[in-house]
């Protein structure tokens, strides 16, 4: 297949079949998916983790990733944050008329590759074609590049091992707060693409399967895991403080930010605390286990920059405090306003 997506590709007829067979079925080869039934029959277990997500990122290709990789990473990481082992993924592709067929094939290939890396099977899917209104709006960025009209909806299923209980409610006074790496990389990569700012900042979009598997299998008492996405670290920690009914305290000088992202933030007046990532997590566990947890995370792919950034200091519910570099204290809240839309 070549050319561009046309409305006939969403008709349910021959053209739809060709699109599915030559791109999606070809890339997402799986014995269950290959049955092409109306629903997938898969093996289960006692406790299932289930999540759903939609991906509307603009542009669909960016430094370090694309919407296909992002769709897998975002879904898999949501399952992992409850300690689940990711097993099954469904994907619904909404294609705008006029989108290049080769771009669809490229995104499908990226999705398939990332699913294999993450250890999750793509077992069901759907394809729809809509008119090209969004594609027309996105076609004229500052560099004249065609952004592509691809939206993806996913559902993910994972199995939760016996005895694993990881929840936003489990943070305890005295716990350590760890992050797996630098803040703001994905946000900065997307924004620089949109603004045609020349930079080599790359998105951190990544499946965190290896990190979470190492933590869960270690026997450490992991209380809380949360991936750091829209809203950034400050929003995530504020929400966790509220859910757990605790006080969280972090140190500004310990928040990891690359020099490139820091320079980018200085140029545009951005705060890395409120910039999203797509391949980083927060881990909260007893303070005496923090060093071992950091060792494990750093030994994994995508975890080399893990550090301790703070601790759970008290039982006053919903308070997030940051010790500033000049010795003061600043109360942090969730992100106010829209932030950067269509980041994932």
Give the residue, 244 or 137, on which the prediction is more confident: 244
* pTM for this predicted structure: 0.89
Length in residues, the chain: 344
Q: What pLDDT score does 92 carry?
A: 97
> Chain-wide mean pLDDT for the chain?
90
pLDDT tens digits, 269-307:
999 999 999 999 999 999 999 999 999 999 999 999 999
Phi-psi label, residue 276: left if phi above 0, alpha if psi -120 to 50, beta otherwise: beta
**pLDDT reading at 112 higher than 50:** yes
Which range is least confidently modeled, 14-23, 55-64, 93-102, 310-319? Answer: 14-23
Give the model's pLDDT for residue 28: 84
| Window from 26-30, 89-93, 157-161 with minimum mean pLDDT | 26-30
pLDDT 10s digits, 31-43:
878 876 555 667 7
> What local confidence, expressed as pLDDT, does residue 314 receive?
87
pLDDT of residue 145: 43
Q: What integer is the mean pLDDT of 161-168?
A: 92
Instruction: Give the pLDDT of residue 132.
Output: 72
Distance (Å, whole) CA 210 – CA 203: 19
Whether 78 has a pLDDT exceeding 50, the answer reads yes
Mean pLDDT of 152-161: 95
Q: Which of 47-51, 145-149, 293-297 has the lowest mean pLDDT?
A: 145-149
pLDDT band for 133, please (50, 70, 90 cuts). low
Check whether 137 has a pLDDT greater than 70. Answer: no
Q: How confident is residue 93, by pLDDT bands cut at 50, 70 and 90?
A: very high
- Domains identified in the chain and CATH numbers: 7-159 (3.30.1330.10), 168-331 (3.90.650.10)
């Amino acid at each position: 297949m070549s050319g561009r997506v046309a409305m006939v590709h969403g008709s349910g007829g021959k053209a739809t079949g060709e699109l599915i067979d030559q791109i999606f079925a070809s890339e997402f080869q799986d014995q269950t998916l290959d049955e092409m039934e109306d629903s997938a029959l898969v093996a289960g277990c006692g406790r299932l983790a289930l999540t759903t997500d939609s991906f509307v990122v603009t542009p669909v290709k960016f430094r370090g990733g694309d919407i296909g990789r992002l769709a897998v990473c975002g879904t898999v990481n949501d399952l992992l944050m409850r300690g689940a082992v990711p097993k099954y993924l469904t994907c619904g592709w909404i294609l705008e008329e006029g989108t290049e067929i080769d771009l669809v094939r490229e995104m499908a290939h990226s999705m398939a590759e990332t699913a294999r890396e993450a250890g999750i099977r793509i077992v069901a899917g759907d394809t729809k074609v809509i008119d090209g209104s969004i594609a027309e709006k996105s076609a004229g960025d500052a560099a004249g590049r065609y952004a592509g009209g691809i939206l993806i909806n996913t559902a993910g299923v994972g199995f939760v091992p016996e005895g694993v209980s990881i929840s936003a409610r489990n943070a305890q006074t005295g716990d350590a707060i760890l992050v797996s790496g630098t803040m703001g990389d994905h946000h900065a990569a997307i924004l620089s693409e949109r603004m045609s700012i020349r930079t080599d900042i790359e998105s951190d979009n990544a499946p965190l399967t290896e990190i979470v598997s190492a933590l869960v299998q270690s026997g450490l008492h992991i209380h809380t895991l949360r991936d750091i996405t829209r809203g950034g670290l400050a929003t995530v920690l504020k929400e966790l403080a509220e859910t757990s009914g605790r006080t969280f305290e972090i140190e500004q000088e310990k928040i990891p930010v690359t020099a490139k992202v820091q320079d980018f933030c200085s140029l545009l007046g951005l705060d890395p605390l409120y910039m999203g990532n797509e391949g980083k997590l927060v881990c909260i566990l007893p303070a005496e286990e923090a060093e071992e947890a950091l060792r494990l995370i750093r030994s994994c792919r995508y975890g080399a920059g893990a550090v301790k950034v703070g601790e759970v200091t008290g039982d006053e519910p919903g308070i997030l405090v940051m010790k500033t570099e000049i010795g003061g204290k600043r109360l942090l809240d969730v992100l106010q306003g829209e932030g950067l839309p269509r980041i994932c």
